[in-house]
Amino acid sequence: MVLFRRLLGDVLRAKRMQRGMTLREVSAEARVSLGYISEIERGQKEASSELLASLCAALDVPLSEILHDVSSLVALEETATLTTTSGPEVVASAA
């Protein structure tokens, strides 16, 4: 099962690191607790639309870019899941 919050966290962490920002810097800029941002990045908490907008502003990244990146990851995971679950069946013959 694809967890949107885990993939969102992965994308947010990657964007933060690309910009060379620490959790503390994002926390101060977004006015969100450092611990809460950490939980979002680890996929343990859901981000509200308001919180996501604050994080995007702090990271200077358009919301559409974040959502596009997450959408691409969701598509990749769905494809991988479909490939592994709908592969050819192997039937063992009883001897």
User: According to the model, what pLDDT value does residue 95 have?
Assistant: 46
CATH of 4-85, one of 1.10.260.40, 2.60.40.1220, 3.40.50.2300, 3.90.660.10: 1.10.260.40
| Mean pLDDT of successive 10-residue stretches along the chain, which has 95 residues | 89 98 98 97 95 98 97 92 65 49
User: According to the model, what pLDDT value does residue 92 have?
Assistant: 52
Residue 69 · residue 37 · CB < 8 Å:
no
pTM score of the predicted model = 0.83
Distance separating alpha carbons of residues 28 and 6, to the nearest angstrom: 23
DSSP the chain: ---HHHHHHHHHHHHHHHTT--HHHHHHHHT--HHHHHHHHTTSSPPPHHHHHHHHHHHT--HHHHHHHHHHHHHHHHHHHHHHHSS----PPP-
